[in-house]
Amino acid sequence: MTDSVKKRNWFQRLFAVRGMGQVITVFFGLIALCVVFYLINPNFLSQRNVANLLRQIAPYLIIGIGQGYVLITGNIDLSIGSVIGMSTMISATLMTRGMDPWLATLVTMVPCLLTGLLNGFLVSACRLPPFIGTLGTMTIARGVAQLVNGNMNTDAIGRTAEGWRDFLYYGRTLGIYNTFWIALVIWLIFNFLLSRTRTGRHVYAIGSNVEASKLSGVNVNMTTIKAYLISAFCAGVVGLITCAQAGMGAMDAGTGYELFAVAASVIGGISTLGGQGILLGTVMGASVWGAMYNGLSLVGAPVAWRNIVVGIIVVLSVLIDVLVRSGTFNKARIRALFSKKI
Amino acid sequence: MKKLVALFLTLALTLTGVAALAEEFTVYLITMDLMDQHWVNVDAGAKAAVEELAKEGVKINYVWDAPTQGKNDAAQIESINNAFANNAQAILLASNGPDTQVATIEQYQKEGVKFIYVDSPANTEAFQTLATDNKAAGKLAGETMLNKLTEMGVAEGKIGIVNVNSSTTSTQLREEGFREAFKDTKFELLETQYGEGQVAASQTIAENYITQGVVGIFGCNEGSTTGTGNAIKESGKDVVGVGFDQSDAILQLVDGGALLATMAQNPYVMGYQGVLSAASILQGKEIVGDKNYDTGVTVVDKAYIAEKGLLTK
């Protein structure tokens, strides 16, 4: 490190991290959002709702981490929602048949991780377009979710699972619901893996330029598989949380979550084109997503408007990022944009 | 100066007095979704009760909420979480999954929130349940269909059932009652198909039934019934359709002859009585009416629509 780098203050160092610009922009957006909701309904920032909100954000954050890895490698994982459903149904079915909740948790993770392995294999070794490959596993995993209990939602998982349900959803530690702490631990681990290890650097490398990383000795197939495994792991965990929340397995659990995960990622500045973004962005993205739905509910916004507003926020946040990065806000560029002859 | 202080004190006292008089209760209505006209009618009944109570000096801050993207257990739990976070003192709940919400409801009951079930109860104790006796209503639907088939001279054949999902108690009971009505007949009741209460999905199911050559189809809720009616109308076949719930679309299907009849519930009564009971409990009094309040059904057929002028309004 040169002296000039050392002399930068903390603020400059913060901005020097790649991808931090978007994260900070979204952070201020989030603050603004919270202020608006607070002004309309002060209960938005009450102790009750903050605890509630942190718990609502947690699942989006967890699947956002998984989808974030996959997006950074330049792929996409559409199977997340179905893996959630599969995880919920398998764990609930096992528990209703009398298996110990913790053992059921371990057993459940096996098919989830296998789905991740299959995704990675199809996309890397078999060269299937990620959209198609994971669309297939999405449908298969949903089928498995329907199959495990004979196309029926399960019964209640019973009193023996109460400790397990508290650990994942209903219990609190230091006044905050456990679900949030679980999300935080998962984030710390995978953020470390992505930003401080060789695997993390490989994830960015293959997302930026597959050919170049191959030539420099990166095992593209293995890295892709790892990313999909992480995504499947995250989805599996959210499936367990969903099961703990409901106390039973529902076959349609997690429907549409793969796109919530994409939203959490892209709002936080992770590019769908690969190679860009940091997991701190996912924290912001998931927070915006959770705060939007919670806040719009608390201020009593009509249902149609809730979906419209959330959609607009997703588009805007990505649009601003794209425009800033391509330098469109430069005066000359704007002039050029409008004077272009078609 | 003294005068000013006195004035200020008087003002403060008056304001406190007014505030005490105008004590506000926060009452939530949480339904399965915000789209079905059935829920809109529950909301209308609730609003009417809120207005009436306001005239009597009981101020209620009333909020209607539900999952935004169709029926979903997890999302409905979040709606309850949000209501609690927004200081709801009483919650009128139409439970989407009777088992899924037990832990959440019991947790908030410990915190003092009063629960009243409308339409569909969850599997835990609450102050009151205002609902249709679904099994009896389902049986009535079955008998209505059976009478028509007998009248047409049809004594056997297949009958299809379009239900919502396997975890909604109300529609499960309707199906049970419906099946009971055909117990001692030669009719074959096919395996139930689930359309999640969505019109398009239900319509596809009904079309498949018609292809299989059924003589009758039963729709278990508003979406299922609309889908069934549309499918029968499109096929032009002589299939007897009987449904549940009342909406403009369904009334038109009945009036046009695609559906024989629909079992109209009284969602308005559920919302209206529910709010009256909630307000009463919050004031430390008893619930209004029975603990299990049967809101009943009406068989709405073409003649009834004409008689009541339901479509000319």
CATH of the domain at A95: 1.10.3470
With beta carbons under 8 A apart, name residues in chain B contacting A48. 84-85, 87
Length of chain B: 313
CB contact (8 A) between residue A52 and residue B84: yes
Instruction: Report the residue from A43, A53, A256 with minimal CB separation from B87.
Output: A43
A154-201 pLDDT, tens digit each:
888 877 888 999 999 999 999 899 999 999 999 999 999 999 999 999
Q: Classify residue A331: in a domain, yes or no.
A: no
d(CA B159, CA B148): 13
CATH architecture, range B2-131+267-282:
3-Layer(aba) Sandwich (3.40)
Kindly state whether residue A103 falls inside one of the protein's structural domains. Answer: yes
Taking 90 as the threshold, does the pLDDT of residue A269 lie above it?
no
Q: What pLDDT shows up at residue A307?
A: 81
pLDDT given for residue B242 in this prediction: 96
What confidence category does residue A279 fall into, taking pLDDT thresholds of 50, 70 and 90? very high
Q: Is A172 on the interface with B (CB under 8 A)?
A: no
Q: Give φ, ψ of B187 to 5 degrees.
A: -70, 145
- Count of structural domains, chain A: 1
Instruction: Give contacts of B 146-205 with A, CB under 8 A.
Output: 165-167, 196
Task: Say whether residue A41 is in contact with chain B using an 8 A CB cutoff.
Answer: yes
| ipTM score assigned to the predicted complex | 0.79
Is the pLDDT at A330 greater than 60? The verdict is no
Task: Select from A43, A54, A153, A169 the residue whose CB has the most chain B CBs within 10 Å, as the one to mutate to test that interface.
Answer: A153
Q: Spell out the residues 6+ positions from residue B40 whose beta carbon is closer than 8 angstroms to its own.
A: none
Q: Smallest CA–CA separation between B124 and chain A, in Å?
A: 13
A313 or B304: which carries more pLDDT confidence? B304
What CATH code is assigned to B134-265+300-308?
3.40.50.2300
Residue A118 pLDDT: 95
Distance from the B101 Cα atom to the nearest Cα atom in chain A, whole angstroms: 6
Q: Which residues from chain A sit within 8 angstroms of residue B72, using beta carbons?
A: 252, 255
Please answer yes or no on whether A256 and B69 come within 8 Å at the CB atom: yes
Contacts for A26-35: CB closer than 8 Å, 24+ residues apart: A26/A267, A26/A268, A26/A269, A26/A281, A26/A284, A26/A285, A26/A288, A26/A317, A27/A284, A29/A288, A29/A317, A30/A284, A30/A287, A30/A288, A30/A291, A33/A288, A33/A291, A33/A292, A33/A295, A34/A291, A34/A295
Q: State residue B290's pLDDT score.
A: 84
Where do the structural domains in chain B lie, given as residue ranges?
A: 2-131+267-282, 134-265+300-308
Say whether pLDDT at A336 is over 90. no
Counting every residue written for chain A, the total comes to 342
Q: Residues 6 or more apart from A184 whose CB is under 8 A from it?
A: none
Section A42-66 average pLDDT: 93
* pLDDT at site B20: 45
CB within 8 Å: B73 and A152: no
**pLDDT at site A221:** 92
As a whole number of angstroms, the distance between CA B84 and CA B2 comes to 45
Q: Does A53 touch chain B (CB under 8 A)?
A: yes
- Structural domain of A271: 17-322
Query: Does residue A327 lie in a domain region?
Result: no
* Residues of chain B with C-beta less than 8 angstroms from the C-beta of A294: 82, 85
Q: Could B73 and A253 be called an inter-chain contact, meaning their C-beta atoms sit closer than 8 Å? A: yes
Per-residue pLDDT tens digits of chain B, which is 313 residues long: 566 566 555 555 554 444 444 568 999 999 988 877 888 889 999 999 999 999 988 899 999 998 876 667 888 999 999 999 999 999 999 998 778 888 899 999 999 999 999 988 888 889 999 988 899 999 999 999 999 999 999 999 999 999 998 878 889 999 999 999 999 899 999 999 999 889 999 999 999 999 999 999 999 999 999 999 999 999 988 899 999 988 889 999 999 999 999 999 888 999 999 999 999 999 888 888 888 888 888 899 999 998 888 876 5
Report chain A's mean pLDDT, rounded to a whole number. Answer: 87
